[in-house]
């Protein structure tokens, strides 16, 4: 595997999930693969789980790890071709990415969307520049439109904890005070549409995701209807796709509570984290027995390790 940027880069998602669960049983069995190999993790935005779980995954495989918080510790990066760099940017992404490719065998990149220009974000301009200029395999650590390592960990978690062959999985929109990317819900939707689950998306009117990601899902504006008999509930806020990056007024009643869980099949509640308590998700759920958010975050290691193992095998 030379690129992991979406579900479309994976030939068999069930096999990849099985690999991840196998690695969870036996984390250190492939240390020879990473010997004398280095991964560089480049962050243009904050991270806790992605950073630590991907480092851990690489260390489990015997790799060396370099982390660069390029937004804070690197030279201010110019992204536009043809720019006259007489302002605040110091180094062009063409040189920066190419040079990093000289030092490492695999690069991981986190590049959030600006949420201003939809075309720029949905063309993945920043992420694709890294891919084009670094000349080594690239793994997405969340790009403008997707978070595939998160989605793989989510599918690993559902596969591990399901109690029936084809569980009902519901992605439900949650309130927030800041416009957040569509990357996590886009990505979760496109993985679930390929997985062996019965998949429903619930959101208030106006929060329709791009149909490029939701093809095959049942979509409703009625949260109660969606939650009925759910086995897994995936809670996430996102800003509108149209008008792009905007928050629409008054949907506070979409926060999940214990009362709303009554109509589910004792659903397990998931969230990619970080979660804002009592805004996106109530204390009672996060502190209660239905929440699996920490378990889910733990599985980030095995998802990342399954992907890095595939990349090392193709070096």
Residues 159-178 that bind ligand SN0 (CB under 6 A): 178
Count of CA atoms in the C-beta half-sphere (13 A) of 76: 6
Q: Which stretch binds ligand SN0 (CB under 6 A): 55-63, 180-188, 205-213, 216-224?
A: 180-188
Q: Are 91 and 65 in contact, with CB atoms under 8 Å apart?
A: no
**What is the token pair recorded at 242?**
């149209």
Query: Rounded to the nearest whole angstrom, what is the least distance from the CB of residue 178 to ligand SN0 in the complex?
Result: 5
Query: Rounded to the nearest whole angstrom, what is the least distance from the CB of residue 300 to ligand SN0 in the complex?
Result: 10
Q: Is 183 in the site for ligand SN0 (CB under 6 A)?
A: yes
Q: Quick one: which of 41, 152, 272, 286 contacts ligand SN0 (CB under 6 A)?
A: 272
210 DSSP assignment: P
Query: Rounded to the nearest whole angstrom, what is the least distance from the CB of residue 122 to ligand SN0 in the complex?
Result: 15
Query: Rounded to the nearest whole angstrom, what is the least distance from the CB of residue 175 to ligand SN0 in the complex?
Result: 11
Name 42's bridge partners: 68, 109
Q: Is 270 in the site for ligand SN0 (CB under 6 A)?
A: no
Q: Which stretch binds ligand SN0 (CB under 6 A): 157-165, 204-212, 270-278, 296-304?
A: 270-278
In order, the DSSP letters of 117-186 are: -HHHHHTTHHHHHHHHHH-S-EEESS-SS--HHHHHHHHHHHHHH-SSSS-EEEEEE---SS---SHHHH
Please say which residue, 184 or 301, places its beta carbon nearer to ligand SN0: 184
- Select from 244, 275, 19, 8 the least CA-distant residue to 148: 8
Site residues (CB under 6 A) for ligand SN0?
A: 178, 180-181, 183-184, 272, 274, 276
């Amino acid at each position: 595997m030379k690129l992991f940027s979406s579900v479309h880069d994976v030939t068999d998602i069930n096999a990849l999930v099985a690999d991840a669960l196998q690695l969870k049983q036996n984390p250190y069995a492939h240390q020879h693969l990473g010997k004398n190999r280095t991964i560089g993790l480049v962050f243009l935005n904050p991270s806790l789980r992605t950073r630590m779980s991907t480092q851990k995954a690489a260390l489990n495989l015997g790799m060396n790890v370099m982390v660069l918080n390029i937004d804070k510790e690197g030279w201010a990066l110019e992204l536009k071709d043809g720019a006259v760099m007489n302002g605040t940017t110091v180094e062009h992404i063409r040189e920066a990415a190419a040079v990093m490719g000289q030092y490492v065998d695999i690069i991981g990149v986190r590049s959030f969307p600006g949420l201003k220009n939809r075309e720029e974000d949905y063309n993945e301009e920043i992420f694709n520049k890294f891919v084009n200029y670094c000349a080594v395999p690239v793994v997405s650590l969340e790009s403008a439109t997707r978070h595939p390592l998160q989605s793989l960990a989510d599918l690993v978690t559902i596969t591990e904890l399901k109690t029936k062959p084809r569980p009902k999985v519901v992605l439900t929109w949650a309130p927030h005070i800041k416009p957040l990317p569509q990357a996590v819900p886009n990505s979760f939707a496109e993985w679930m549409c390929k997985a062996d689950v019965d998949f429903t998306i619930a959101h208030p009117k106006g929060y329709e995701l791009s149909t490029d990601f939701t093809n095959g899902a049942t979509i409703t504006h009625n949260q109660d209807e969606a939650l009925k008999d759910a086995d897994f509930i995936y809670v996430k806020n996102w800003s509108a796709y149209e008008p792009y990056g905007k928050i629409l007024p008054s949907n506070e009643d979409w926060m999940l509570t214990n009362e709303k869980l009554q109509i589910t099949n004792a659903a397990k509640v998931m969230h990619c984290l970080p979660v804002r308590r009592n805004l996106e998700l109530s204390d009672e759920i996060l502190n209660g027995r239905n929440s699996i958010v920490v378990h889910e975050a733990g599985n980030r290691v095995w998802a990342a390790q399954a992907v890095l193992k595939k990349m090392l095998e193709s070096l």
